[in-house]
């Protein structure tokens, strides 16, 4: 047998090229500057977070929860209580408003759609990624989600994360509050990056999937907003509710 480096019949002993990757987790031409995401349904079917015991076996500890500044959570909680009072002043006093910093990617949206507990009226989540953004300059993107008409909001959320999560932030209650702090639609910042936002707030309901909240019925909901002609209309739709043709999502460019 010829040794390595001999020419005769060397083609018989050449090392074959590496096999092409067929694993969806290993794309053939990975981009080191771009996150590789797994479709939400595939992720739910094949993956789960490690338990504390499994992390301990690896010598790791569970990640510490994100702690938001108290003045920030106090502001958002006051805004949510005011919103509850607009919706139903009688029941608003029963809300026990609590805040959890939670990335949208860490939410199990399908489970949230069926998680109903009226005793937890007032719970809300905030996206820690969007708390320090400058909304006066953040570029708005409103994707076309017409293909999701008549599908539940939970499916819309999963699609947003798997399709846009690496390029855009999902703002939540903090953005809802920021818009409402402008007395009129025309008071929002000028510039082409805000024209689509203004038009959609005028003609449609704009959703902010960076947050979830529980109303008095105990269902998890996503906040949304429109310009009602003379004032802001604040709403929140359940994750099991259907997406309609007049629904839009506000994303912010990373």
With 80 as the cut, is the pLDDT of residue 67 above it?
no
| Same domain assignment for residues 94 and 16 | no
| Same domain assignment for residues 106 and 30 | no
| Same domain assignment for residues 157 and 35 | no
Alpha helices in the chain (DSSP H): 40-46, 52-57, 70-87, 89-92, 109-114, 153-164, 173-180, 192-203
Q: Are 208 and 171 in contact (CB under 8 A)?
A: yes
pLDDT, position 32: 65
- Mean pLDDT across the chain: 85
| Same domain assignment for residues 179 and 241 | yes
Domain membership of residue 140 as a residue range: 70-253
| Same domain assignment for residues 23 and 95 | no
How far is the C-alpha of 84 from the C-alpha of 95, rounded, in Å?
8
Q: How far is CA 250 from CA 139, 159, 175, 247, in A?
A: 10, 14, 9, 10
With 60 as the cut, is the pLDDT of residue 8 above it?
no
Residue at 1 is within a domain:
no
pLDDT, position 58: 81
- 247-249 and 205-207 beta bridge pairing: parallel
| Same domain assignment for residues 80 and 179 | yes
pLDDT, position 3: 38
pLDDT tens track for 144-187: 999 999 999 999 999 999 999 999 999 999 999 999 999 999 99
How far is the C-alpha of 68 from the C-alpha of 177, rounded, in Å?
17
Q: Considering its fold, how many domains does the chain have in total? A: 2
State pTM to two decimals: 0.75
| Same domain assignment for residues 158 and 214 | yes
| Same domain assignment for residues 97 and 200 | yes
| Same domain assignment for residues 23 and 104 | no
Residue at 2 is within a domain:
no
| Same domain assignment for residues 162 and 136 | yes
Tokens of 52: 């504390």
| Same domain assignment for residues 153 and 198 | yes
Q: 35-49, 69-83, 102-116, 202-216: lowest mean pLDDT where?
A: 35-49
């Amino acid at each position: 047998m010829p040794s390595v480096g001999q020419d005769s019949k060397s083609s018989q002993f050449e090392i074959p090229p590496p096999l092409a990757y067929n694993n969806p987790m290993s794309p053939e031409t990975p981009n080191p500057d771009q996150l590789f995401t797994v479709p939400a349904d595939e992720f739910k079917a094949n993956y789960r977070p490690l338990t504390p015991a499994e992390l301990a076996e690896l010598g790791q500890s569970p990640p510490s929860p994100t702690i938001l500044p108290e003045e920030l959570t106090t502001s958002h909680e006051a805004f949510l209580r005011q919103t509850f009072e607009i919706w139903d002043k009688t029941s608003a006093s029963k809300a026990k408003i609590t805040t959890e910093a939670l990335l949208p990617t860490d939410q199990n949206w399908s489970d949230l759609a069926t998680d109903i507990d009226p005793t937890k009226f007032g719970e809300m989540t905030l996206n820690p990624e969007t708390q320090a953004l400058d909304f006066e300059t953040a570029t708005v993107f409103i994707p076309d989600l017409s293909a999701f008409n008549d599908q539940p909001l939970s499916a819309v959320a999963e699609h947003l994360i798997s399709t846009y999560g690496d390029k855009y932030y999902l703002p939540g209650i903090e953005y809802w509050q920021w818009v409402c702090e402008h007395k009129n639609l025309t008071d929002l910042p000028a510039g082409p990056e805000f024209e689509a936002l203004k038009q959609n707030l005028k003609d449609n309901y704009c959703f902010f999937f960076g947050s979830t909240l529980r109303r008095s019925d105990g269902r998890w909901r996503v906040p949304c907003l429109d310009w009602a002609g003379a004032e802001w209309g604040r709403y929140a739709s359940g994750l099991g509710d259907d997406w309609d043709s007049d629904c839009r999502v506000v994303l912010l460019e990373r």
